[in-house]
Amino acid sequence: MPTRYRDDPEAAPSLRARDRARAMRKQATEAEKRLWWHLRHRIPLKGSSFRRQVPLGRSFVDFCCLKARLVVEVDGATHGTDEEIAYDAARTRFLEGQDFQVVRFTNTDVMTAIDDVLAAIHARLTERCPELLP
Protein backbone atom coordinates (compact mmCIF):
# COMPACT_ATOMS: atom_id res chain seq x y z
CA MET A 1 0.00 0.00 0.00
CA PRO A 2 1.30 3.49 -0.80
CA THR A 3 2.78 5.62 1.94
CA ARG A 4 0.38 7.90 3.77
CA TYR A 5 1.39 11.37 4.89
CA ARG A 6 0.78 10.75 8.58
CA ASP A 7 2.95 7.60 8.47
CA ASP A 8 5.83 9.20 6.60
CA PRO A 9 6.40 12.95 6.85
CA GLU A 10 8.78 12.69 3.87
CA ALA A 11 5.77 11.83 1.68
CA ALA A 12 3.85 14.95 2.75
CA PRO A 13 3.26 17.70 0.17
CA SER A 14 5.77 20.51 0.20
CA LEU A 15 4.93 23.92 1.61
CA ARG A 16 4.87 25.23 -1.97
CA ALA A 17 2.34 22.54 -3.00
CA ARG A 18 0.13 23.34 -0.01
CA ASP A 19 0.24 27.06 -0.85
CA ARG A 20 -0.65 26.36 -4.47
CA ALA A 21 -3.55 24.13 -3.41
CA ARG A 22 -4.82 26.91 -1.14
CA ALA A 23 -4.68 29.38 -4.03
CA MET A 24 -6.45 26.94 -6.36
CA ARG A 25 -9.26 26.52 -3.83
CA LYS A 26 -9.84 30.27 -3.98
CA GLN A 27 -10.06 30.16 -7.80
CA ALA A 28 -12.57 27.32 -8.14
CA THR A 29 -14.80 27.15 -11.20
CA GLU A 30 -18.57 27.42 -10.80
CA ALA A 31 -18.88 23.67 -11.38
CA GLU A 32 -16.26 22.95 -8.68
CA LYS A 33 -18.03 25.28 -6.22
CA ARG A 34 -21.35 23.59 -6.92
CA LEU A 35 -19.97 20.07 -6.53
CA TRP A 36 -18.10 21.04 -3.36
CA TRP A 37 -21.34 22.27 -1.77
CA HIS A 38 -23.12 19.05 -2.70
CA LEU A 39 -20.27 16.81 -1.50
CA ARG A 40 -20.39 18.50 1.91
CA HIS A 41 -24.18 18.56 2.25
CA ARG A 42 -25.68 15.72 0.22
CA ILE A 43 -23.36 12.72 0.45
CA PRO A 44 -25.01 10.82 3.33
CA LEU A 45 -22.13 8.54 4.28
CA LYS A 46 -20.59 9.20 7.65
CA GLY A 47 -16.82 9.39 7.40
CA SER A 48 -16.78 10.19 3.69
CA SER A 49 -15.13 13.56 4.06
CA PHE A 50 -13.79 15.07 0.88
CA ARG A 51 -10.94 17.53 0.47
CA ARG A 52 -10.49 20.04 -2.34
CA GLN A 53 -7.42 20.58 -4.52
CA VAL A 54 -5.38 17.84 -2.91
CA PRO A 55 -1.72 17.55 -3.99
CA LEU A 56 -1.06 13.95 -5.02
CA GLY A 57 2.22 13.29 -6.72
CA ARG A 58 3.14 16.10 -9.07
CA SER A 59 -0.41 17.34 -9.63
CA PHE A 60 -3.53 18.39 -7.77
CA VAL A 61 -6.83 16.55 -7.82
CA ASP A 62 -10.10 18.47 -7.64
CA PHE A 63 -11.68 16.40 -4.86
CA CYS A 64 -10.45 13.44 -2.85
CA CYS A 65 -11.89 11.16 -0.19
CA LEU A 66 -8.74 9.75 1.38
CA LYS A 67 -10.58 7.10 3.40
CA ALA A 68 -12.09 5.55 0.25
CA ARG A 69 -9.08 6.53 -1.90
CA LEU A 70 -11.50 8.07 -4.38
CA VAL A 71 -10.58 11.02 -6.61
CA VAL A 72 -13.28 13.10 -8.30
CA GLU A 73 -12.21 15.29 -11.21
CA VAL A 74 -14.34 17.99 -12.84
CA ASP A 75 -13.15 18.59 -16.39
CA GLY A 76 -13.85 21.77 -18.29
CA ALA A 77 -13.59 22.59 -21.98
CA THR A 78 -9.78 22.48 -21.96
CA HIS A 79 -9.83 18.73 -21.29
CA GLY A 80 -11.05 17.92 -24.81
CA THR A 81 -7.80 18.28 -26.75
CA ASP A 82 -5.70 15.23 -27.62
CA GLU A 83 -2.86 16.60 -25.48
CA GLU A 84 -5.08 17.11 -22.44
CA ILE A 85 -6.73 13.71 -22.86
CA ALA A 86 -3.28 12.07 -22.88
CA TYR A 87 -2.21 14.12 -19.84
CA ASP A 88 -5.38 13.15 -17.93
CA ALA A 89 -4.86 9.48 -18.84
CA ALA A 90 -1.28 9.60 -17.51
CA ARG A 91 -2.47 11.23 -14.27
CA THR A 92 -5.18 8.58 -13.91
CA ARG A 93 -2.63 5.77 -14.39
CA PHE A 94 -0.38 7.34 -11.74
CA LEU A 95 -3.26 7.72 -9.27
CA GLU A 96 -4.48 4.17 -9.89
CA GLY A 97 -0.92 3.01 -9.22
CA GLN A 98 -1.26 4.72 -5.83
CA ASP A 99 -4.48 2.72 -5.16
CA PHE A 100 -6.84 5.62 -5.93
CA GLN A 101 -9.89 5.25 -8.12
CA VAL A 102 -10.55 8.23 -10.40
CA VAL A 103 -13.99 9.29 -11.55
CA ARG A 104 -14.39 12.18 -14.01
CA PHE A 105 -17.31 14.45 -14.77
CA THR A 106 -17.62 17.39 -17.11
CA ASN A 107 -18.60 20.88 -15.97
CA THR A 108 -21.85 20.35 -17.88
CA ASP A 109 -22.57 17.14 -15.93
CA VAL A 110 -22.13 18.97 -12.64
CA MET A 111 -24.17 21.99 -13.66
CA THR A 112 -27.09 20.12 -15.31
CA ALA A 113 -27.25 16.64 -13.75
CA ILE A 114 -25.93 16.99 -10.20
CA ASP A 115 -28.17 14.19 -8.88
CA ASP A 116 -26.67 11.73 -11.38
CA VAL A 117 -23.15 12.90 -10.48
CA LEU A 118 -23.83 12.44 -6.76
CA ALA A 119 -25.38 9.00 -7.35
CA ALA A 120 -22.25 7.92 -9.23
CA ILE A 121 -19.97 9.24 -6.48
CA HIS A 122 -22.10 7.59 -3.79
CA ALA A 123 -21.91 4.26 -5.63
CA ARG A 124 -18.13 4.48 -5.92
CA LEU A 125 -17.78 5.40 -2.24
CA THR A 126 -19.84 2.44 -1.05
CA GLU A 127 -18.02 0.14 -3.47
CA ARG A 128 -14.58 1.30 -2.29
CA CYS A 129 -15.40 1.62 1.40
CA PRO A 130 -18.46 -0.45 2.44
CA GLU A 131 -17.97 0.44 6.12
CA LEU A 132 -19.24 3.95 5.26
CA LEU A 133 -22.76 2.62 4.75
CA PRO A 134 -25.23 4.01 7.30
Ramachandran category for residue 104: left, alpha or beta (phi over 0 → left; psi -120 to 50 → alpha): beta
CATH number at residue 82: 3.40.960.10
48 falls within a domain: yes
- Cα separation of 74 and 102, whole Å? 11
User: What per-residue confidence (pLDDT) applies to 76?
Assistant: 79
**Predicted confidence (pLDDT) per residue in 50-72, tens digit:** 999 888 888 889 999 988 999 99
Can you tell me the mean pLDDT for 128-133?
79
Can you tell me the mean pLDDT for 7-23?
55
User: Where is 70: in which H helix or E strand?
Assistant: strand 70-75
3 falls within a domain: no
User: What per-residue confidence (pLDDT) applies to 134?
Assistant: 63
Tell me the C-alpha to C-alpha distance, in Å, between residue 92 and each of 27, 45, 56, 67, 110: 23, 25, 11, 18, 20
Structural domain that includes position 116? 9-132
* 54 three-state secondary structure: strand
User: What per-residue confidence (pLDDT) applies to 109?
Assistant: 95
Burial grade of 112 (CB within 10 A; 0-12, 13-18, 19 or more)? exposed
Can you tell me the mean pLDDT for 89-112?
94
pTM for the whole structure: 0.80
Can you tell me the mean pLDDT for 37-42?
91
62 falls within a domain: yes
- In this prediction, residue 2 has a pLDDT band, given cuts at 50, 70 and 90, of very low
Q: Does 5 score more than 60 pLDDT? A: no
- In this prediction, residue 99 has a pLDDT band, given cuts at 50, 70 and 90, of very high
Burial grade of 62 (CB within 10 A; 0-12, 13-18, 19 or more)? buried
Domain count, the chain: 1
Can you tell me the mean pLDDT for 78-107?
89
Residue 104 φ then ψ, to 5°: -120, 140
99 falls within a domain: yes
User: What per-residue confidence (pLDDT) applies to 133?
Assistant: 65
